[in-house]
């Protein structure tokens, strides 16, 4: 009986045909480095590749970003926008991000408590942002609390939006008039498909 560990010829052909896409997106490089990077090793968000492409085409140098969570996405947004304010609950990780963050990044360390100061950070900054990214912890409460810090034409980027536990937050935004554009498929590092959603109102800074 042939070993089950050996690849069949058809499987090898399929894998070889996928290689150009995996190389071009940087998926292979992200697997090797175990970090969310592109083919050149530059930091990119840990979103679906289709979402990264979409956002890269529409983000503007004048946009201001508020981000729940921080990481390579913070660095990616910072290269493309006027400013990024991120809230992070893990001090060690905040230190790591701060070491490579440019001057237009403000990284706030806030302890995590459900529906606590973490989710209320955008309003406490006293600023309004064209883009709010929900990619950290306590995401449903972050959705409830972020609207006062969003400009009238602002958009929300919600990563891992396929998870059932986030449904109340997405339903809340729908009730507030937000439409939802879903991007599903492959993203950096992992092999399983996921989903990143862009939530927007009829008049929005992305021109959707």
What's the pLDDT score for residue 4? 46
pLDDT band at 13 (very low <50, low <70, confident <90, very high): low
What's the pLDDT score for residue 51? 97
What's the pLDDT score for residue 2? 45
pLDDT band at 10 (very low <50, low <70, confident <90, very high): low
User: 15: left (phi > 0), else alpha (psi -120 to 50), else beta?
Assistant: alpha
Mean pLDDT of 176-192: 93
Residue 8 DSSP symbol: P
CATH class for the region spanning 43-200: alpha beta
This prediction's pTM: 0.89
- Torsion angle of alpha carbons 140, 145, 148, 151, nearest 10°? -30
Sheet holding 179-185, edge to edge: 105-109, 83-88, 64-68, 129-134, 150-159, 194-200, 179-185
Task: For residue 12, give Cα distances in angstroms to 9, 16, 18, 193.
Answer: 5, 6, 10, 21
Average pLDDT over the chain, rounded to whole? 91
């Amino acid at each position: 009986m042939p070993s089950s560990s050996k690849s069949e010829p058809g499987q090898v052909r399929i894998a070889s045909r996928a290689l150009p896409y995996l190389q071009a997106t940087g998926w292979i490089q992200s697997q090797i480095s175990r970090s969310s990077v592109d083919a050149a090793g530059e930091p990119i968000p840990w979103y679906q590749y289709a979402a990264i492409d979409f956002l890269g085409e529409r983000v503007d140098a004048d946009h201001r970003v508020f981000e729940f969570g921080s990481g390579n996405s913070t660095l990616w947004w910072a290269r493309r926008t006027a400013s990024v304010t991120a809230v992070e609950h893990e001090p060690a990780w905040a230190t790591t991000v701060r070491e490579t963050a440019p001057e237009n990044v403000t990284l706030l360390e806030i302890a995590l408590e459900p529906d606590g100061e973490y989710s209320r950070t955008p309003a406490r900054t006293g600023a309004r942002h064209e883009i709010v990214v929900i990619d950290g912890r306590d995401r449903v409460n972050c959705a409830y609390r972020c609207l006062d810090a969003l400009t009238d034409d602002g958009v929300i980027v919600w990563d891992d939006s396929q998870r059932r536990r986030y449904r109340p937050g997405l339903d809340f935004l729908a009730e507030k008039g937000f439409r939802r554009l879903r991007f599903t498929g492959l993203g950096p590092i992992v092999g399983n498909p996921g989903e990143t959603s862009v939530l927007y109102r009829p008049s929005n800074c992305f021109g959707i």
